[in-house]
């Protein structure tokens, strides 16, 4: 419930901040996109933090948020995934080059409990030499088909916790 409240506050407080900091272009339209996605995510969080008089600036850690966003990018663009089935288990083996392995391991181990909480599935993760394994146990064929259709990258997007998660990281709080 706290995650949902945090996301609601983030969403409500971000819209005015974006409108306030946006500039009209020659056609009179409001320009809201700040460019590159990681920069846009950081800009959104900075606007929320600056607009909140209760922000504890001693704890704010934008570098930690940036590192997390780099991990997200590395996993999305630099990893390879093999999906296997073993009865009710769907097993994603996620691997990458040496510079991507830590990102894979960070993201899989952090996201597995959140995914289990969001879905009710049994989700386990294990580190392997070149990445990680995520094993998801489902209760029926429809869930298994859903997992296989979404694949690892789709599964990683499940849940509305990402924005609140990013805000917690930036505020110097552990989201895990």
CA distance 173 to 165: 9
Distances (CA, A) of 18 to 46, 74, 119: 11, 27, 32
Note the pLDDT of residue 98.
Answer: 94
pLDDT of residue 31: 63
Supply the pLDDT for residue 112.
93
Q: According to the model, what pLDDT value does residue 108 have? A: 96
Structure tokens at 48: 């929320």
Whether the model pTM is above 0.85: no
Q: Which residue is listed with tokens 């460019």?
A: 35
Structure tokens at 148: 């296989």
Residues of the chain with pLDDT under 50: 1-25
């Amino acid at each position: 419930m706290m995650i949902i409240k945090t996301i609601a506050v983030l969403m409500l407080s971000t819209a005015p901040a974006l409108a306030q900091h946006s500039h009209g272009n020659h056609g009179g339209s409001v320009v809201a996109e700040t460019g590159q996605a990681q920069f846009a995510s950081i800009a959104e969080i900075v606007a929320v933090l600056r607009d909140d008089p209760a922000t504890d600036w001693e704890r704010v850690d934008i570098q930690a948020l940036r590192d997390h966003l780099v991990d997200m990018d590395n996993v999305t663009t630099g990893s390879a995934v093999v999906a296997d089935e073993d009865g009710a288990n769907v097993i994603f083996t996620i691997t990458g080059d040496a510079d991507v392995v830590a990102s894979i391991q960070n993201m899989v181990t952090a996201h597995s409990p959140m995914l289990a909480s969001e879905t009710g599935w049994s989700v386990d993760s294990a580190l392997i030499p070149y990445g990680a394994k995520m094993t998801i146990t489902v209760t029926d064929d429809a869930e298994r088909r859903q997992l296989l259709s979404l694949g690892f990258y789709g599964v990683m997007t499940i849940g509305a916790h990402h924005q609140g998660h990013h805000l917690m990281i930036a505020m110097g709080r552990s989201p895990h």
